[in-house]
Amino acid sequence: MRRNSLDLTAIVDAIEEVLPREQEFIALHEPYLVGNEWTYIKECLDTGWVSSVGKFVDKFEKDLAEYTGSKHAIAVVNGTAALHICLKLVGVAENDEVLIPSLTFIATANAVSYCGAIPHFVDSAINTLGLDPKKLDSYLQEIIVMKNGFSYNKETGNRIKAVVPMHTFGHPVDLDLLVNVCEKYNIELVEDAAESLGSYYKNQHTGTFGKVSALSFNGNKIITTGGGGAILTNDEKLAKLAKHLTTTAKVPHRWEFVHDHIGYNYRLPNINAALGCAQLEKLADYINKKRALAKRYDEMLKDIDGITFFKEPDFAKSNYWLNVILLDEANLELRDMLLRILNDKGIMTRPVWTLLHKLPMFRECPKMDLSTSKLLEKQIINIPSSVVLGDSYNA
């Protein structure tokens, strides 16, 4: 009796067909550094402006704002720090609950915890791999009581202060629907746009829908500053406060050290910003290459039974940061075998993050029905997605 219809050899062959043959190991996502990186870094070294002050930080912030269409961008040390400050900026405080997907990278939940707040896990949608606004709406209808215009969790009595959708692997969540939910329940919207630089929802850049949003420039993201992140906002006051809080909250003075908040040393060093400026110059080209790679994967994988190559939702133009194969429900038990075969061949592939509500630190946190996340956790396989792999393909 045939257990299932999955032809593992066909999948492996199709993926190998897309990838370069001469390489022994193909990473999931590696940096692509072919522009002005050397020139700008050399300038930092030659001038001595390597640390917390210098022109590249200002330029990187200006270029980021321009690229995303956000009024302001504040560069910080990493995406997790960006998220931490975003949550502070919308007033997330001790014992507030913050709605986040269970299917996300650990940083989303950690940032909530740094504020003394409580992650409240919500389910994801099959068409975006991100937070499901419709399901969230019906859930909130059940669990929320409104007092003085604010939302409280009936069960815990805690204020539900914010929601942090994450644009999974670069694919935007349905932001129009989510914005409506936020307005209905008076909940602040903070986007975790760490994976979605260069991704658009209905022609508007992700990270510009929330009151504040976080980007990441870690080594595995679409562009990198070594380590780095940024806060996006259209609100001038919040932008100023973000800069202040991330630079030790020092009151400007020629010689005195006066600080007026408990601030953070989260500023991005100039040398990292120099990398960022060079990388940002190439981003449009990177996105073309990544979209071309995704198209090529789709061509090779679309006719194979038992799997689906994940494509951007109708309303989106995605950066295709990490490409995804979804196993059909009948084939879930073959996931690890497929991972083993591909990794043994030097083709780096991996499953999605362990759902956060299962981790020891978050096991007791409130959560809704997470059936779609649980299914996706078993279905998702990420396949190599570096910019360089799209070099020879056309979008």
Query: What residue ranges bind ligand PLP (CB under 6 A)?
Result: 78-80, 104-105, 107-108, 166, 192, 194-195, 216, 218, 229
Mind giving me the DSSP string for 379-395?
HEEEE---GGGGTT---
By DSSP bridging, strand 204-205 and strand 72-76 are unpaired
Shortest reach from residue 182's CB to ligand PLP, in Å? 19
Q: Which is nearer to ligand PLP, 227 or 366 (CB)?
A: 227
Shortest reach from residue 344's CB to ligand PLP, in Å? 26
Q: How far apart are the first and last CA of the chain?
A: 42
**C-alpha angle with apex 103: 390 to 229, nearest 5 degrees?**
60
Q: Which is nearer to ligand PLP, 251 or 361 (CB)?
A: 361
**Which residues have C-beta within 8 Å of that of residue 223, sequence separation ≥ 6?**
197, 217, 276, 279, 280, 282, 283, 286
Shortest reach from residue 41's CB to ligand PLP, in Å? 20
Shortest reach from residue 60's CB to ligand PLP, in Å? 15
By DSSP bridging, strand 212-216 and strand 323-327 are unpaired
Buried b (16+ CB within 10 A) or exposed e, 6-30: beeebbeebbeebbeeeeeebbbbb
Around Cβ 2, how many Cβ atoms within 10 Å? Answer: 5
By DSSP bridging, strand 380-383 and strand 160-163 are unpaired
- Give how far the C-alpha of residue 317 lies from the chain's centroid of Cα atoms, to the nearest Å: 15
> Tell me, what amino acid is at 70?
S
CB-CB contact of 195 with 79 (8 Å)? no
Shortest reach from residue 159's CB to ligand PLP, in Å? 23
Q: Which is nearer to ligand PLP, 70 or 151 (CB)?
A: 70
Q: Which is nearer to ligand PLP, 11 or 107 (CB)?
A: 107
By DSSP bridging, strand 307-309 and strand 350-351 are unpaired
Shortest reach from residue 305's CB to ligand PLP, in Å? 31
Shortest reach from residue 242's CB to ligand PLP, in Å? 16
C-alpha neighbours within 13 Å on the C-beta side of residue 232: 28
Shortest reach from residue 79's CB to ligand PLP, in Å? 3
Shortest reach from residue 193's CB to ligand PLP, in Å? 9
By DSSP bridging, strand 204-205 and strand 200-201 are antiparallel
Closest among 211, 307, 248, 210 to 77, alpha carbons compared: 248
Q: Which is nearer to ligand PLP, 223 or 370 (CB)?
A: 223
Q: Which is nearer to ligand PLP, 165 or 390 (CB)?
A: 165
Q: Which is nearer to ligand PLP, 107 or 131 (CB)?
A: 107
Q: Which is nearer to ligand PLP, 208 or 382 (CB)?
A: 382
CB-CB contact of 162 with 98 (8 Å)? yes
CA atoms of 130 and 165, how far apart (whole Å):
7
Q: Which is nearer to ligand PLP, 11 or 99 (CB)?
A: 99
